[in-house]
Amino acid sequence: MKRCISALILLSAVSLSFAQGGLLLIDPPPERKASISYGATLIGFPREPGSASLSYLPIPAFEWMDPSGAFLSTDIGLGWNFSARKDLQIGVRLYLDPPRNDTQSGKVSGLSPIPWRLERTAFANWWPVEFAQLQSSVRTGLGPNEDGTLAEFGSSFGAPLSPSVLLGGTIGMTWANGAWRQSFFGVNTTAAASSGLSTFQAGGGWQDFQTSVGLEWKMSPQYRLDARLDQWRLLGAAAASPITQSRWQRGFVLSIWHDLN
pLDDT of residue 109: 53
| pLDDT for residue 104 is more than 90 | no
pLDDT bracket for residue 80 (50, 70, 90): very high
- Residue-number span of the structural domain to which 142 is assigned: 2-259
Percent pLDDT > 70 in the chain is 87
CATH number at residue 237: 2.40.160.40
Q: What is the pLDDT of residues 166-177, one digit of tens each?
A: 999 999 999 999
Q: Residues 79-105: what's their mean pLDDT?
A: 83
pLDDT of residue 102: 54
pTM (predicted TM-score): 0.85
Q: What is the pLDDT of residues 148-162, one digit of tens each?
A: 999 999 999 988 999
Q: Name the domain count of the chain.
A: 1
| pLDDT for residue 18 is more than 80 | no
pLDDT of residue 156: 92
| pLDDT for residue 28 is more than 90 | no
| pLDDT for residue 192 is more than 60 | yes
Ranking 58-72, 85-99, 200-214 by mean pLDDT, the lowest is: 85-99
Secondary structure of the chain as H, E, C letters: CHHHHHHHHHHCCCCCCHHHCCCCCCCCCCCCCCEEEEEEEEEEEECCCCCCCEEEEEEEEEEEECCCCEEEECCCEEEEECCCCCCEEEEEEEEEECCECCCCCCCCCCCCCECCEEEEEEEEEEEEECCEEEEEEEEEEECCCCCEEEEEEEEEEEEEEECCEEEEEEEEEEEECHHHHHHHHCECHHHHHHHCCCCECCCCEEEEEEEEEEEEEECCCCEEEEEEEEEEEECHHHHHCCCCCCCEEEEEEEEEEEECC
pLDDT of residue 101: 62
